[in-house]
């Protein structure tokens, strides 16, 4: 009942090396958020979702608890749930249960860059949903969307957790346009987006008092130390996260606490940091309904359903190919 195809090979090692070289060589240093997620990074993200300050997971869960049946009906009761960036699929259970209750559930396709969590999730889910066929894909969804299997009986392609907010506008448009091109007439995209709100709540969510988000942020340096034989001293950087109201996005960085040089042996690269210099490690865009309708239209998609929590903090939207 479980198959997991792994599409991370030497190419992905080379892609990481290229990304990191480019990201650390320019005048504004930057690392892609997908490099947070080794086994430790996935565990830390799970801890973040349980923090009192981190409302997005709670409110997305609230919508899924209350409205999954409606969402599944609005999506035409499809047989397959594909999930991009599935992680532990903790909230996905509500959708799977609604599909089971509607007697349409056949296949779940978790797609994630982290191999460990994809295996663990698949094993738990076959126990919880007897008869469910699981076809996991370990790959980079920005590069390997075409590996997602096409299925009869319609699909929901879910992209939860606000992960779409990690993409800059142009790569986001390209990504959504590629997703739109994949959608058949019976397929729907289900997208989770955090909504614009006051700065204090946004900043608190990314600066938790227990310091878990800071540890998650610094984990990318541990990944580079291990994968590229770098010598980042994690104590020589601090976590910074603030809201850029003009661009409507959280801006998350690591700030060097001293003048320092870091060696990345595998890249034969020496990176100089001045005290106070930063590496951007993630953005997390916040959305409005109007803005998202425009984003969908630009990507060849049309809004087909809008579901929010009671406080209107977060939205799940259904989209179809325009
Ligand atoms: C913000 S977490 C969300 C996890 C889960 N969907 C949730 O809502 O709690 C992002 C997830 O996407 C995965 N991920 C991030 N970038 C990815 C990429 N480029 N390709 C595949 N998976 C990716 C991570 O491993 C992680 O499980």
Average pLDDT on 275-291 reads 98
DSSP-assigned beta bridge partners for residue 80? 107, 155
* pTM value > 0.75: yes
Tens of pLDDT, residue by residue over 163-185, are 999 999 999 999 999 999 999 99
Shortest-distance atom of ligand 1 to CA 112:
22
Tens of pLDDT, residue by residue over 54-92, are 999 999 999 999 999 999 999 999 999 999 999 999 999
Nearest CA to ligand 1 atom 17: 34
Ligand 1 centroid from CA 130, angstroms:
25
Our mutation pick for probing the ligand 1 site, out of 85, 138, 143, 158, counting the most ligand atoms within 8 A of Cβ, is 85
**11 pLDDT higher than 80:** no
Tens of pLDDT, residue by residue over 88-134, are 999 999 999 999 999 999 999 999 999 999 999 999 999 999 999 99
Nearest CA to ligand 1 atom 6: 86
Report the relative pairing of strands 260-264 and 269-273 from DSSP bridges: antiparallel
**Residues 316, 65: contact at Cβ < 8 Å?**
no
Shortest-distance atom of ligand 1 to CA 144:
20
Structure tokens at 60: 């997305």
Neighbours of 242 (CB within 10 A): 14
Tens of pLDDT, residue by residue over 197-251, are 999 999 999 999 999 999 999 999 999 999 999 999 999 999 999 999 999 999 9
């Amino acid at each position: 009942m479980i198959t997991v195809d792994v599409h991370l090979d030497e190419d992905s090692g080379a892609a990481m090396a290229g990304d990191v070289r480019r990201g650390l060589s320019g005048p504004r240093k930057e690392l892609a958020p997908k490099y947070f997620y080794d086994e430790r990074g996935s565990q830390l993200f799970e801890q973040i979702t349980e923090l009192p300050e981190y409302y997005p997971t709670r409110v997305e869960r609230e919508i899924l608890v209350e409205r999954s049946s409606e969402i599944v009906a609005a999506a035409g009761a499809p047989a397959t749930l594909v999930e991009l960036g599935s992680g532990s699929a903790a909230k996905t259970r509500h959708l799977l249960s609604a599909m089971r209750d509607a007697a349409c559930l056949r296949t779940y396709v978790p797609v994630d860059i982290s191999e460990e969590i994809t295996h663990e999730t698949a094993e738990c889910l076959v126990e919880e949903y007897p008869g469910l066929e699981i076809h996991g894909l370990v790959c980079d969804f920005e590069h390997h969307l075409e590996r997602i299997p096409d299925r009869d009986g319609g699909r929901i392609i879910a992209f939860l957790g606000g992960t779409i907010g990690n993409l800059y506008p142009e790569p986001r448009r390209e990504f959504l346009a590629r997703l739109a091109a994949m959608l058949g007439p019976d397929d729907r995209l289900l997208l989770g987006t955090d909504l614009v709100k006051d700065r204090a709540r946004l900043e608190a969510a990314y600066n938790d008092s227990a310091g878990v988000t800071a540890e998650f942020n610094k984990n990318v340096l541990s990944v580079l130390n291990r994968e590229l034989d770098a010598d980042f001293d994690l104590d020589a950087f601090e976590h910074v996260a603030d809201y850029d109201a003009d661009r409507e996005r959280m801006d998350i960085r690591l700030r060097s606490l001293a003048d320092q040089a870091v060696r990345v042996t595998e890249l034969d690269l020496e990176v100089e940091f001045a005290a106070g210099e930063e590496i951007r490690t993630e953005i997390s865009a916040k959305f409005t309904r109007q803005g998202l309708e425009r984003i969908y239209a630009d990507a060849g998609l049309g809004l087909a359903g809008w579901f929010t929590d009671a406080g209107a903090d977060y939205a799940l939207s259904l989209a179809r190919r325009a």
